[in-house]
């Protein structure tokens, strides 16, 4: 079977080899602890599950959903954005349901990019920011996120020849994989650039509800002028322990959302309405307490991991958001992959090499905090000993 040339352009999955090694170790009876994937280990909050159970029993949810989303869901998203971020949205034109942020981010590339166009993508970053443009026949232009700049792209370093061809820009704060949060002024700078260069900003807001030490993450759309140039993709996956439900929303620029809707109506048939009704429940103020309790758990885990790394001589700063710790590889290792292999071999702990998220991630590794406390403590003890 021959795959399309388009598909062949996608780089091989960096974790494939790692997965084989893990499988071989487990088969040999080794107790491998994975701190690799960012998938919450705790269940979806009980009121959301109860709302879904009621919704599944309601036959009105059993038909094809509309691609725009059920009005209850769109209103709940708009109410949440007003309450949480101070952003006003028209639920009819400025909110639409998505089958997870991943679907939405990928389809935005198909909706807005032609061959020869450029998409500006954070490096390291969520892989769809480069895979989407590549599959759409366009070119990703990487914006390095480096510690010296607080993991924020240098917008002035984008060559003007590339900027002229740029149609999309992907940004994401709180940031996966670096854990960085947006510094004051960044979103304003992005709005100014997007207006000047005529590009659509896609702010991937997957982690705004997962923050620590009292930090409250803003919406990109709260920035003056943002709605004229951008959309935000808000996912319920991480903040509400709902990765399996595939529940997200795209909000912001009405024209952009209309194009996304036109594309999607040719690709999929929308998000199961029972999931939308559960998502509407998740976004109500009564659920805030659950989110706060979850964040207290992650914050405790973050502190555990960071102090163990610091004790081992790794210079790591505590992230204010996301479910990841991003730390530099010890100097004696030639690469992140070499270090991660060593840790797997000698401590049976899986951590992710930074370059799996883009070339600028070389020299770093990522630890996910989504492992139960006892297993995380065990992994951390092994790392400390190593
Ligand atoms: C930055 C970022 N965006 C999007 C996603 C995917 O979100 P969803 O589950 O809504 O597709 C992830 C998941 O890890 C992520 O880290």
Measured CA to CA, the distance from residue 116 to residue 101 in angstroms comes to 25
Percent of the chain at pLDDT above 70?
99
Q: Is 368 in the pocket of ligand 1 (CB under 6 A)?
A: no
3-state secondary structure of 105: helix
Measured CA to CA, the distance from residue 132 to residue 117 in angstroms comes to 12
Q: Tens digits of per-residue pLDDT, 71-102?
A: 999 999 999 999 999 999 999 999 999 999 99
Q: Which of 271, 286, 301 marks a domain boundary? A: 286
pLDDT of 234 strictly over 90: yes
Q: What is the mean pLDDT of the chain?
A: 96
pTM for the complete prediction?
0.96
CATH of residue 251's domain is: 3.40.640.10
* Enclosing domain of residue 189: 46-286
Averaged pLDDT, 28-32: 94
Measured CA to CA, the distance from residue 237 to residue 320 in angstroms comes to 19
Q: Tens digits of per-residue pLDDT, 42-81?
A: 999 999 999 999 999 999 999 999 999 999 999 999 999 9
- The radius of gyration of the chain's CA atoms, rounded to the nearest angstrom, is 21
Q: How far, in Å, is the centroid of ligand 1 from the Cα of 207?
A: 8
Q: Which of 286, 318, 353 marks a domain boundary? A: 286
Q: Tens digits of per-residue pLDDT, 175-209?
A: 999 999 999 999 999 999 999 999 999 999 999 99
At 206 the pLDDT is 98
Percent of the chain at pLDDT above 90?
92
For strands 95-98 and 33-34, give the pairing: unpaired
Q: How far is CA 192 from the centre of its chain?
A: 24
Total count of domains within the chain: 2
Measured CA to CA, the distance from residue 217 to residue 205 in angstroms comes to 9
Q: Is 172 in the pocket of ligand 1 (CB under 6 A)?
A: yes
At 188 the pLDDT is 98
pLDDT of 14 strictly over 70: no
pLDDT of 384 strictly over 90: no
Q: Which of 205, 235, 236 to mutate to test the pocket of ligand 1 (most atoms within 8 A of CB)?
A: 235
At 20 the pLDDT is 84
Q: Are 229 and 182 members of one domain?
A: yes
Q: Are 69 and 127 members of one domain?
A: yes
Sheet containing 364-368: which strands, arranged edge to edge? Answer: 324-328, 364-368, 352-353
Q: How far, in Å, is the centroid of ligand 1 from the Cα of 39?
A: 10
At 84 the pLDDT is 98
Ligand 1 atom with the smallest distance to the CA of 243 is 9
Q: How far, in Å, is the centroid of ligand 1 from the Cα of 136?
A: 20
At 313 the pLDDT is 86
Q: Are 369 and 221 members of one domain?
A: no
Our CA dihedral for 16, 20, 25, 26, rounded to 10 degrees, sits at 90
Averaged pLDDT, 240-260: 98
Q: Is 235 in the pocket of ligand 1 (CB under 6 A)?
A: yes
Q: Are 267 and 182 members of one domain?
A: yes
| H helix runs in 65-197, sequence order | 71-80, 101-112, 128-135, 160-165, 186-197
Q: Are 75 and 220 members of one domain?
A: yes
Q: How far, in Å, is the centroid of ligand 1 from the Cα of 238?
A: 8
Residue 39, H or E segment:
none
Residue listed under structure tokens 């594309």: 263
Q: Are 308 and 342 members of one domain?
A: yes
Ligand 1 atom with the smallest distance to the CA of 247 is 10
Q: Whose CA is nearest to atom 14 of ligand 1?
A: 38
Q: How far, in Å, is the centroid of ligand 1 from the Cα of 128?
A: 9
Q: Tens digits of per-residue pLDDT, 293-333?
A: 999 999 999 999 999 999 888 999 999 999 999 999 999 99
Residue 108 burial (10 A CB sphere; 0-12, 13-18, 19+)? buried
Assess contact for 199 and 155: CB atoms under 8 A: no
Q: Are 62 and 142 members of one domain?
A: yes
Q: Whose CA is nearest to atom 12 of ligand 1?
A: 206
Q: Are 16 and 146 members of one domain?
A: no
At 327 the pLDDT is 97
Q: Which of 225, 251, 286 marks a domain boundary? A: 286
Q: Is 98 in the pocket of ligand 1 (CB under 6 A)?
A: no
Averaged pLDDT, 116-120: 97
At 196 the pLDDT is 96
Q: Are 177 and 119 members of one domain?
A: yes
Tokens at 359, concatenated: 């070339």
SS (H, E, C) 250-274: EEECHHHHHHHHHHHCCCCCCCCHH
Among 236, 235, 231, which residue's Cα sits nearest to residue 259? 231
| H helix runs in 252-364, sequence order | 254-264, 273-282, 288-311, 336-347
At 65 the pLDDT is 96
At 292 the pLDDT is 98
Q: Is 202 in the pocket of ligand 1 (CB under 6 A)?
A: no
């Amino acid at each position: 079977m021959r795959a399309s040339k388009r598909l062949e352009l996608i780089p091989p999955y960096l974790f494939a080899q790692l997965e084989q090694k893990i499988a071989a170790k487990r088969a040999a009876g080794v107790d491998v602890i994975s701190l690799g994937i960012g998938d919450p280990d705790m269940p979806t909050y009980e009121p959301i599950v109860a709302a879904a159970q009621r919704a599944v029993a309601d036959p009105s949810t059993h038909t094809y959903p509309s691609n725009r989303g059920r009005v209850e869901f769109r209103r709940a998203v708009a109410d949440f954005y007003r309450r949480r971020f101070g952003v006003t949205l028209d639920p009819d034109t400025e909110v639409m349901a998505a089958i997870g942020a991943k679907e939405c981010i990928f389809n935005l590339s198909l909706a807005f990019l032609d061959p020869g166009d450029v998409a500006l993508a954070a490096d390291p970053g969520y892989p769809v920011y480069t895979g989407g443009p590549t599959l759409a026949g366009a070119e990703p232009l990487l914006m390095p996120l480096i510690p010296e700049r607080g993991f924020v792209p240098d917008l002035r370093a984008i060559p003007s020849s590339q900027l002229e061809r740029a149609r999309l820009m992907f940004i994401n704060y709180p940031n996966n994989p670096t854990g960085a949060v947006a510094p004051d002024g960044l979103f304003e700078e992005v709005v100014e650039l997007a207006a000047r260069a005529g590009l659509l900003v896609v702010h991937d807001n997957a982690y705004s509800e997962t923050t620590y030490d009292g930090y409250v993450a803003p919406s990109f759309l709260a920035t003056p002028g943002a709605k004229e140039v951008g959309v935000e993709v808000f996912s319920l996956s991480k903040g509400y322990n709902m990765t399996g439900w595939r529940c997200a929303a795209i909000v912001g620029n009405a024209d952009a959302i209309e194009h996304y809707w036109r594309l999607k109506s040719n690709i999929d048939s929308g998000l199961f309405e029972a999931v939308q009704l559960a998502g509407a429940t998740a976004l109500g103020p009564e659920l805030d307490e659950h989110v706060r309790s979850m964040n207290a758990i992650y914050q405790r885990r973050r502190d555990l991991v960071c102090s163990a790394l610091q004790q081992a001589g790794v210079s790591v700063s505590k992230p204010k958001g996301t479910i990841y710790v991003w730390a530099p590889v010890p100097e004696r290792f030639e690469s992140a992959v070499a270090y991660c292999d060593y840790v797997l071999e000698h401590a049976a702990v899986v951590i992710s090499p930074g370059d799996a998220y883009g070339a600028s991630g070389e020299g770093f590794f990522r630890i996910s905090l989504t492992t139960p406390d006892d297993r995380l403590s065990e992994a951390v003890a092994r790392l400390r000993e190593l």
